[in-house]
Amino acid sequence: MNQTIPVVSPQFIRSRIGKVCVAIIGSTPAEMLEKAQETIRENTFLEFRLDYLDKPLAAIPKLRQFLADRADVTAIATCRRAAAGGKFKGKIAEELEVLNKAAAAGFHLVDVELQTAENVKEAELEKLRARGAAIIISWHDFTATKDLDGIFERIRPFDPDFVKIVSTAKNLSDNVTMMHFLERTRDMANMIGICMGDQGIISRVLAIRAGSVFTFAAATPGEETGPGQIAARTLRETYRIDQIDAATRVYGVAGNPIKHSLSPLMLNTAFRRETVNAVFLALQATKLKDLLTLVREVPIHGLAVTMPLKEEILEYLEKTDAISEKIGACNTVVRAQDGKLYGFNTDVAAVVRPLERRLQLNGAKVLVLGAGGAARAAVFGLKEKGAEVFILNRTAADGQKLARQAKARTFRRDQLAKTQFDVIINATPVGMQGVKPNHILEPKEINARLVFDMVYNPIETPLLRMAREKGVPVVTGVEMFVHQGARQFEIWTGKPAPEEEMFRVVVHALRQRSEEAAKTGKA
């Protein structure tokens, strides 16, 4: 007697799931189930990456028991072949055998690559469909974002329950391409669409608003199953993905590199604390015109601008505040209702105010290391306060140019060891996590009443460590970082910034990073 297995409808699945599906990996069934048990405390929608197991078929009985015991869990079975970017080394027939067994074991959805679907007989897919699980037909492009509509048209004849198209963002505009594609197709199928890569993080957060049924997340940092994948807790707590809707305003920090910026954590914390319906994203911007396309199309309501765009962006702004115009660098952009962009500079106050709390700047002798956007903010801001400012820059011509513009003076490194300053400020990226070299001065060259390092990651830079060892008081980059971010928040929202909370989360995150680096030997 043939037993009819009830088919799971897409509507039933959509009623059970949230906006985030957490990918579960492990080298053994036991490890995979342990991670699943930990994850379902916060998220009951899981994707089991069976291709990560040496023998996926052997794991099916244990997974069957897990799903039987946890009726609240909705599970996707994925066994992606190596040819399609996965880890399964078997052939198409073996992949289908794993997915058939998974469907019979209680998985609610099975993920079939388009390449697999196009290379098997229709009866094979019907057999899989008859097992009762909903079918996802998926496509992954690990190189680019191109011809999404063409891929969609290749998938449609298979009449899957869900269509999953994943590309790779090579620039910020690729996210716009993906989101416009989702807007076009959202009423034609149950769509899942995201861009991979560091520049695709925008789509992982905003694609749901554009029409993706859900997005994917890693169980924990370090367990990503695709480039640029975000940890589930970060998606929920930092980006508040469950609350993003059509009215959510989008802001971001733009620069290169930007991957390790703590601005998203800091500003999203401020938005949450002050109940602002907004989200703040990291925007890996290699070309300014690419960034401006994103600003126009998403649209982005405000930008924190960092290296190397602070000067270049000026020509694209309708108007700037007086200090931005004077120093020729802008770190804060507001997009008005008419789409025009206005610039501000919060770096100046963020340099001057921490120093004013500690000493009299009028007549103070200050050495600024560097001649870029951050240095310009420091030099012009300090000159306005009556300080005697000296500039030391690796490229002498750039230092001389800034000195002429700000009516400051240049300084030679060979004079350092025998010169006393009130303040030495590092306005270069030297000392920043991952930037080489990590020493900008030698201990004998630190002759000052106060040392200020604008680098905020790590909290204790090599320069600050040397200063402390000499008994010289310091100003950390965190103080400046939080201060300028707080002013940006106020410009964008008109609300007072929760500075203490912003400072707390930044310091906590930096300490965590330092501990992790020490454990892995990367400190």
- Give the active site residues: 310
Strand positions, DSSP E, 154-265: 162-168, 191-196, 215-218, 249-255
For residue 21, list its beta bridge partners. 216
Model confidence pLDDT, tens digit, residues 1-23: 444 456 678 888 888 899 999 99
pLDDT exceeds cutoff 80 at 495: yes
- Please write down the long-range contacts of 93-96, taking CB distance under 8 Å and 24 or more positions apart: 96/120, 96/124, 96/128
CA pseudo-torsion sign 439, 442, 445, 447: positive
522 falls in which pLDDT band (50, 70, 90)? low
Model confidence pLDDT, tens digit, residues 119-152: 999 999 999 999 999 999 999 999 999 999 999 9
Which pLDDT belongs to residue 483?
95
| CA distance linking residue 427 with residue 402, whole number of Å | 13
Which pLDDT belongs to residue 7?
65
In CATH, which superfamily holds the domain spanning 348-475? Answer: NAD(P)-binding Rossmann-like Domain (3.40.50.720)
Task: Pinpoint the residues of the chain covered by CATH 3.40.50.720.
Answer: 348-475
Which pLDDT belongs to residue 521?
65
Residue pair 345/329 in contact by the 8 Å Cβ criterion: yes
Residue pair 108/13 in contact by the 8 Å Cβ criterion: yes
Which pLDDT belongs to residue 519?
79
Task: Pinpoint the residues of the chain covered by CATH 3.40.50.10860.
Answer: 250-345+502-520
Which pLDDT belongs to residue 334?
98
Which helix H or strand E contains 335, and what residues bound it?
A: strand 332-335
Average pLDDT, the chain: 94
DSSP state at residue 87: S
| CA distance linking residue 71 with residue 84, whole number of Å | 31
pLDDT exceeds cutoff 70 at 84: yes
Structure pTM? 0.89
**What's the rounded mean pLDDT across residues 38-60?**
97
Which pLDDT belongs to residue 1?
41
Residue pair 100/127 in contact by the 8 Å Cβ criterion: yes
Transcribe 352-421 into DSSP letters.
Answer: HHHHHTTS--TT-EEEEE--SHHHHHHHHHHHHTT-EEEEE-SSHHHHHHHHHHHT-EE--GGGGGG--E
**What's the rounded mean pLDDT across residues 89-104?**
96
Give φ, ψ of 305 to 5 degrees: -105, 125
| CA distance linking residue 109 with residue 482, whole number of Å | 45
Q: Which residues contact 106 (CB under 8 A, 6 or more apart)?
A: 63, 64, 67, 68, 75
Structure tokens at 507: 């310091």
Classify 437 in phi/psi space as left (phi over 0), alpha (psi -120 to 50) or beta.
beta
Model confidence pLDDT, tens digit, residues 391-424: 999 999 999 999 999 999 999 999 999 999 999 9
Model confidence pLDDT, tens digit, residues 227-286: 999 999 999 999 999 999 999 999 999 999 888 889 999 999 999 999 999 999 999 998
Give φ, ψ of 343 to 5 degrees: -115, 145
Specify the CATH number of the domain 250-345+502-520. 3.40.50.10860
pLDDT exceeds cutoff 50 at 197: yes
Task: Pinpoint the residues of the chain covered by CATH 3.20.20.70.
Answer: 10-246
Amino acid identity of residue 118, one-letter, is E
Residue pair 247/48 in contact by the 8 Å Cβ criterion: no
Which pLDDT belongs to residue 2?
45
Specify the CATH number of the domain 10-246. 3.20.20.70
Select the more confidently predicted residue: 178 or 3. Answer: 178
pLDDT exceeds cutoff 70 at 116: yes
Which pLDDT belongs to residue 507?
96
For the chain, what percent of residues have pLDDT higher than 90? 86
Select the more confidently predicted residue: 308 or 30. Answer: 30
Structure tokens at 54: 């040496």
pLDDT exceeds cutoff 90 at 381: yes
Amino acid identity of residue 506, one-letter, is V
Q: Which residues contact 440 (CB under 8 A, 6 or more apart)?
A: 369, 426, 428, 430, 431, 462, 463
Amino acid identity of residue 256, one-letter, is N
**What's the rounded mean pLDDT across residues 95-110?**
97
Model confidence pLDDT, tens digit, residues 438-479: 789 999 999 999 999 999 988 999 999 999 999 999 999 999
Pick from 200-204, 335-339, 374-378, 519-523: least confident: 519-523
